Structure 1
Amino acid sequence: MAVSADCRISLSAAGQLRGATGLAGRNWRLVKFCNGEVMGMKLKQTQLQQSIGGVTKTVRQRVCMSLTADVAGEAKLRDLEMEKRDPRTAVAIILGGGAGTRLFPLTKRRAKPAVPIGGSYRLIDVPMSNCINSGINKVYILTQFNSASLNRHLARAYNFGNGVTFGDGYVEALAATQTPGEAGKRWFQGTADAVRQFHWLFEDARSKEIEDVLILSGDHLYRMDYMDFVQNHRQSGADITISCLPMDDSRASDFGLMKIDNKGRVLSFSEKPKGEDLRAMQVDTTVLGLSKDEAEKKPYIASMGVYVFKKEILLNLLRWRFPTANDFGSEIIPASAREFFIKAYLFNDYWEDIGTIRSFFEANLALTEHPPRFSFYDATKPMYTSRRNLPPSKIDNSKIIDSIISHGSFLTNSLIEHSVVGIRSRINSNVHLKDTVMLGADFYETDVEVASLLAEGRVPVGIGENTKIKECIIDKNARIGKNVIIANSEGVQEADRSSEGFYIRSGVTIILKNSVIQDGTVI
């Protein structure tokens, strides 16, 4: 084995370091060695000696004497860093989340990760695309609530036949099940319990090479190279690594916060602290690479709920150490801080938890900013989704200002401001949308069908003529008639009007999926 100056290994055909017998002098090479480590193992460099041409030489510190058999065509170079980045030894588990009560009514008939975002994507596409772009091709998605639409989307977008291909990897959606035995007679009780109930996955033959397990959430919006995260975890030797965000005072109390030492090791963990408990969690965030000015503005380290575990540590924690703990963030991580090596990994980029109607609404509208804090437009790290084969949008005599118009839409004589218009949307003459997220439709109605519905006094899918809408989320397949006004002019914060086809949450009006808003309605 030889380690070159650029930290690359040369492996012989036998894959091992050979003796000197029978090898020509030209096969001996003196090469530089980085930091005295090979694959994380320290070498006793002061003891390395070798005889070359009858002269015994002692290898100096940070230099490694190595030997490679000159077998033509059989020597292979492998990068040390790439070895630690090897995605074949990592698996991702994406948690489908709970009932999604804070995102209701968008989660009335769908799981949180299946909620549409950005006009043509779903939330699950974010961690799935991050996995693909990171080279991780072994993925499990654990689901429990309203999983039909999520499973359908995964089958269309990420299967082996006509979606994104995964080589020797796999993508499997695993629904919560009840099995014989005491432990199998209940649903998922939390994030940790969900993984615990599927611990047998790691006994499968496909998991024999797995060393590290990524735990991801299905309702976050961010772009991340997971293998950078895993590589940092491996290089540090940590049992658990937590991806974290620097946080200011205004939002810190909404997150699980960590205290760290000057090497980034997690010393303690506090879930959503308030008052004095919150101030006690302040740390020097320059330790994680922030500038002094940034550290003063953001003196807290908040957990993203994204973790990487050594596989054996994860199984030990779930099955033996904390067999009754249900949640990673509030139970297992805080209880493990003193006993295990937990490391903080800084992610100082855009990240948003799409956990409420307000955060969903604002995250969508933020996509229209100049420049946006997050963008789906990145040729080097694209966001994947289901292939739909839709035509380009057709826009007739309309004005579009700071908005996103998804493919397959029809806009006629309309004004769209600071809005996101989803796939297959139909917007008719003299419609004005402002600060609105329209999720689109699952199907088209033909011109003949539309004319027939109008002749019968019924409302087609889409938005009818002379309608004005602002600060609204319009769920899929909604039918909004002519001369409708949706403005919440009285500033109502909460309202349940399911019989009338809408809810109001945090001041945002939500038009329900498949609902009908009759001509002339004022909301």
Structure 2
Amino acid sequence: MKRVLSIILGGGAGTRLYPLTKYRAKPAVSLAGKYRLIDIPVSNCINSEILKIYVLTQFNSASLNRHIARAYNFSQFSDGFVEVLAAQQTPENPGWFQGTADAVRKYLWMFEAWDVDEYLILSGDHLYRMDYRLFIERHRSTNADMTLSVVPIGEKLASSFGLMKIDSTGRVVDFSEKPKGDALRQMQVDTSTLGLTPEQAREKPYIASMGIYVFKKQVLVDLLKRSMEQTDFGKEIIPNSSKDYNVQAYLFDGYWEDIGTIEAFYDANLALTHQPQPAFSFYHEDAPIYTRSRYLPPSKLLDCHVTESIIGEGCILKNCRVEHSVIGLRQRISSDCVIENSLLMGADYYEPMSESSQHLTRGKIPMGIGEGTILRRAIVDKNARIGRNVKIVNKENIEEAEREDLGFYIRSGIVVVLKNAVIPDGMII
């Protein structure tokens, strides 16, 4: 694995995850109370003994840079590193990244300098645990020019992914990026050849690309230099090269979720609370997910009723009810609150207790959730100040709304309270 260089694509503007990407890059969005999305691919690399890792990013990368600098410091006796490469303008390339392939092309001069055999291209907004060693072994054993990691999927999600057809040897013979209508139906295959049962094959008649690729070094260099106008792997590079190159498919049979939308992000976080065994678990001794060490105190629960929930470090909960929710770092929840089916991201810092009481006396709202507040099906971003007797319940069942002036959005019926928002006492959303 020392002959592999990993390149993690940090994503574009993150419009599908907005407003969580209002102040941060998509890979820096919080996950499971204490992690960030970028921790997933970086941890998979470390657990797979791939220690040369670049992260390409373009938008709001300050918090991502800070997180990576504090979380991933390898020994000076190893050649391991995790380094952020932000989009930059140069005399040769005056524009920003135009797509996934263009992002890699802009830094190709740096990647070429490494004496490696393969480039592993990863996405920064997926939730999964994968041993890339098996993936790369398959790539090498088939002498592939490039290998795509794939999963079988159903009709509902198919048009959101790059779909392919493969032959009996696993070689990709046809590839179509996010097809619709007739083009989508033409990509149906018998997925039982992948080892699925007939019933599973009927439910999932498509083979989807996970957006995870491994390329022979020289193949990727040639492809990116030869066709400068092709800016995206899924839309252009891979479909146009499947005929001339040995493109192989590697079936991944574990849990994998693209959490690039608010709804998918919300569902994936809350699924972590399921019993007895969630589809994805952070409790895996052989392949841990790493993140930044914060040295926070244990959480304190004072006369609370908590069911099927995750409580992050450093929280203080008083006489409240929490059901099927994820509570992030340093979160304060006051008495008589009800938190149901919600994701609270917590806070970046502690507000001194004395300061909180002063805020109350001055009519200001302290950080956290005020007394008597009810939250249902909500995402509360970091450092939000929610007053007393607030009801965030989407009482009119609105699917989409943008009320940035009031500190919230509604996406797929989920109320998203903005980072640093102030929700006054008694407000009903």
With normalisation by structure 1, the TM-score equals 0.80
Question: Are the counterparts in 1 of residues 166 and 172 from structure 2 also a CA contact under 8 Å?
Answer: yes
Q: Distance in 2 between matches of 1:507 and 1:200?
A: 45
For residues 132 and 116 of structure 1, the distance between their equivalents in structure 2, rounded to whole angstroms, comes to 20
* C-alpha deviation, 1:494, in angstroms: 1.4
After TM superposition, the structure 1 = structure 2 runs for residues 299-448 of structure 1, keeping only pairs within 5 Å, are: 299-320=205-226, 322-370=227-275, 371-448=277-354
Indicate yes or no: 2:127 matched with 1:213.
no
CA distances 1:416-470 after superposition (whole Å, capped 9, x unpaired): 0110000000001000000110000000112111111111111111001000110
State the structure with more CA Rg: 1
With over 3 angstroms needed to count, the CA separation of the structure-2 counterparts of 1:166 and 1:469, relative to structure 1, is farther
Equivalent positions of 1:69-468 (< 5 A) are 87-160=1-74, 167-181=78-92, 184-204=93-113, 207-208=114-115, 210-320=116-226, 322-370=227-275, 371-468=277-374
Structure 1 residue 411, shift from structure 2 partner: 0.4
Give the match for residue 503 of structure 1: 409
For residue 176 of structure 2, give the secondary structure of its aligned residue in structure 1. strand
**Could you tell me how far apart the structure 1 residues matched to 2:406 and 2:77 are?**
45
For residue 472 of structure 1, what is the aligned residue in structure 2?
Answer: 378
Amino acid at match of 1:116: S
CA RMSD of aligned residues (A): 1.2
State the 1:289 CA deviation. Answer: 2.9
Structure 1 moving runs of 4+ over 3 Å: none
2:36 aligned partner, one-letter code: R
Q: Return the letter of the residue paired with 1:170.
A: F
Cα separation, 2, equivalents of 1:112 and 1:410: 28
Amino acid at match of 1:351: W
Deviation digits for residues 39-63 of structure 1 (CA, Å, limit 9, x no counterpart): xxxxxxxxxxxxxxxxxxxxxxxxx
Question: Displacement, 1:344?
Answer: 0.5
Offset, 1:377: 1.4
Q: Distance in 2 between matches of 1:481 and 1:167?
A: 50
Q: Which amino acid aligns with 1:234?
A: R
Deviations 1:315-341 (A, max 9, x none): 000001x22100000100000011101
Letter matched to residue 331 of structure 1: E
CA–CA distance in structure 1, aligned partners of residues 7 and 337 of structure 2: 43
Q: Give me the whole-angstrom Cα distance separating, in 1, the residues matched to 2:254 and 2:111.
A: 32
Deviation of 1:274 (Å): 2.3
SS of match in other structure, 1:88: coil
Q: Contact conserved, 2:74 with 2:80, CA < 8 A, in 1?
A: no
CA distance in structure 1 between the partners assigned to 2:17 and 2:164 by the alignment: 27
- TM-score normalised according to structure 2 size: 0.98
Instruction: Write the distance in 2 (CA, Å) between the matches of 1:400 and 1:430.
Output: 13
Q: Shift in Å at residue 203 of structure 1?
A: 3.4
| Offset of residue 166 of structure 1 | 8.3
**Aligned-residue identity in percent:** 58
> Contact between 2:326 and 2:343, CA under 8 Å: does it hold in 1?
yes
More contact order relative to length (CA 8 Å, sep ≥ 6): 2
**Structure 2: segments with no counterpart, 5+ residues:** none
Cα displacement (A) at 1:299: 1.8
For the 8 Å contact 1:263–1:287, the answer to whether it is kept is: no
The letter for the 2-side match of 1:329 is: G
| 1:278 CA displacement | 1.7
Q: Does the Cα contact within 8 Å between 1:264 and 1:287 map onto a contact in 2?
A: no
Distance 1:166 1:466, change over 3 A: farther
In the TM superposition, what is the alpha-carbon distance from 1:273 to its structure 2 partner? Answer: 1.8
Separation in 2 of the partners of 1:241 and 1:332?
A: 13
The Cα offsets for residues 458-488 of structure 1, whole Å up to 9 and x where unpaired, read as 1111001000110100000000011111101
